[in-house]
Structure 1
Amino acid sequence: MNPVVSVFRHPPDGGRGYHRDTRVRWALEEVGQPYSLRYVTFSEMRRPDYMQLQPFGQMPVYQEGDLTLFESGAIVLHIAQRFAGLLPGGPDARSRSIMWMFAAVNTIEPCIASGSVGYLEQRLQQLALVLGEKTWFEGEDFSVGDLMMVSVLRPLKDSDILKQSRRLQNYVACGEEREAFQRALNAPPSVRRTSGRSDENLSVENFAL
C-alpha cells in the first residue's frame, strides 16, 4: 500500500510550499516512492478521528499500512531510512546527514520562529561557513540533511537576512531547482500519484477522514 500524506485543502501560504507537508512530499519524490494525498480542512483537523492520528491537530500526518506518523522530521527520517536515495552509503556520511537534518529543525528553525534577528544572523553566518563553496553538506551528494535545511530556509529566501549570504541563497535555489522538489510543489491537491517520478497517470481520489 502506498503512503498517504495529509495536506491542507486550502493552504494558508497560497500553495507556495512553506508548510511542513511539502518536506514529506519532497522526500517521497526524491526516493521515487508513489504516494497519495489526502486533503483536510482546518475544521476537520479538530475532529476526534483526525486527532487520533495527530493529537495536536496539526499537519502533516503520514500513513503507511499500519504505521501512522506525525512531526515532519520524524516522517522524513523514516522515509530516508525506509527507501533508498536520501542517505549516503557510508556510515559516517549517513550520520552527518542525519545530524544536519536535526540541526535544521532543532537549531535553525527555532531561530527563525523566535523572531530574534541578531541571533538568526549569527546562526546563518555559522551555517554559511560550514557549507562553504560546496553544493551540499556532503559535497555533490544531496541528502536528507539538505532536504530539511533547504525546507527550513525557504521562507527566508526573499528576506533581507538571507540576501546577506550568497552561499545560502544559492543553496536554497539549488534545492528548489531539483526536479523532485518541483514535482512536490506543483502537485495539485487531492490527486493520487501512480508514479513518484512522473506527472503522468494522475487520477483524482477523495479521502474520507
Structure 2
Amino acid sequence: MPIDPTAELEITAFEWVPRFAQGQVRDLRPRWACEEYGLPYKVRLVSAIERPEWYFQDQPWGQVPFVRDGEVGIFESGATLIHIAEKAGALPPVGSQERASVLSWLLAAFNSIEPFVMEFVNCAVFSRTEDWAPLRQPSLLETLHGRLSRLETALGDRAWLAGAFSIADIAMASILRALPDPAVLAAHAALAAYVERATTRPAFQRALAAQLAPFAEHDPSKQKEGA
C-alpha cells in the first residue's frame, strides 16, 4: 500500500542513516504491519544525527519508531505492532489461546532473542576493533546458537510461530535478519527458511522499499556534492 500523506496513522522514521543500518531501522516493523494489514500511513522524518529536541517529548530517547494515530501516541516497536494489529482487527480475541500465543512469541522475540542478537552485532560490527571483541565472540556465539536452537525446535515444522502469520513473525524475522554473519543463521536451516518466507512476502518488500527511499534523497554525501 503506498504511503498516504492524508492518513491518520503516522510513523516517525529517520531521514538518513549510514549504509550498514539501512534496511534495519526499527520503523520497518510498523511499516511492515501496515502493509500486511492494508492500513494507510504517512511518514514524519527526523534527523538521526541531530535529533530535534521536541522529538524527545514523543520518544524519551529520540529513537524510532514513534507512531501517532489520531490523539494516541505509541513508542517502542512492539507496542506499535500491537496497536496496529488491534486497529486492523488482526489480533485474536482477548482471553483466547491464539492471542496468548501471538503475544507470548512477540515478547519472546524482544526479550529472549533480540538481546543476544544485538550483543553479537555489537561485538562483530560496532566493537570489532576492540581488543576484547575476538575473545568475547566464541562464548557469545555458543550462547546465541543455543538460543536459536531452542527457537528452531519450538518452531518445528510450522510456517509461522503462532499459527497464521502475525506481528510475532514481523518482530522475530526482523530480529533474525539483523544477524551480520549469514553463517550464524545458516547453521539453523529451519530458521533460515523461516526468515526467507517472511522477507519474500510482498508486504515486507514494500515496507523495505519505503524505508530505503528517503535515505538516497537525504544522503549527506550527495547533498555536499550539490552544494
5 Å-filtered alignment, 1:3-14, equals 3-13=9-19
The separation in 2 between residues aligned to 1:157 and 1:177, in whole angstroms, is: 19
5 Å-filtered alignment, 1:61-80, equals 61-80=66-85
5 Å-filtered alignment, 1:106-121, equals 106-115=111-120, 116-121=140-145
1:54 aligns with 2:38: no
Q: Is the 8 A contact 1:13 1:19 kept in 2?
A: no
Cα displacement string for residues 103-133 of structure 1 (whole angstroms, at most 9, x for unaligned residues) = 0001100111223211111000000001111
The unaligned stretches of length 5 or more in structure 1 are 191-209
Q: TM-score, normalised by structure 2?
A: 0.77
The separation in 2 between residues aligned to 1:107 and 1:35, in whole angstroms, is: 30
The separation in 2 between residues aligned to 1:15 and 1:34, in whole angstroms, is: 25
Which structure would you say has the larger Rg? 2
The separation in 2 between residues aligned to 1:11 and 1:43, in whole angstroms, is: 8
Match of 2:133 in 1: none
Equivalent of 2:26 in 11, 17, 20? 20
Q: Is the 8 A contact 1:26 1:181 kept in 2?
A: yes
Which residue type is aligned with residue 56 of structure 1?
Answer: W
Q: Is the 8 A contact 2:11 2:42 kept in 1?
A: yes
Q: Is the 8 A contact 2:162 2:168 kept in 1?
A: no
Which residue type is aligned with residue 158 of structure 2?
Answer: K
Match of 2:196 in 1: 173
C-alpha spacing 1:176/1:16, structure 2 compared with 1 (3 Å) = farther
The separation in 2 between residues aligned to 1:43 and 1:165, in whole angstroms, is: 36
The separation in 2 between residues aligned to 1:157 and 1:179, in whole angstroms, is: 23
Please state which structure has a larger fraction of its residues in helix: 2
Q: Is the 8 A contact 1:7 1:59 kept in 2?
A: yes
Q: Is the 8 A contact 1:6 1:61 kept in 2?
A: yes
The separation in 2 between residues aligned to 1:157 and 1:2, in whole angstroms, is: 36
Tell me how far 1:157 sits from its aligned partner.
6.9
Q: TM-score, normalised by structure 1?
A: 0.83
Number of matched pairs: 187
Residue aligned with 1:38, SS: strand
C-alpha spacing 1:158/1:16, structure 2 compared with 1 (3 Å) = farther
Which residue type is aligned with residue 152 of structure 1?
Answer: I
The unaligned stretches of length 5 or more in structure 2 are 1-6, 121-139, 216-227
Tell me how far 1:167 sits from its aligned partner.
0.2
1:134 aligns with 2:164: no
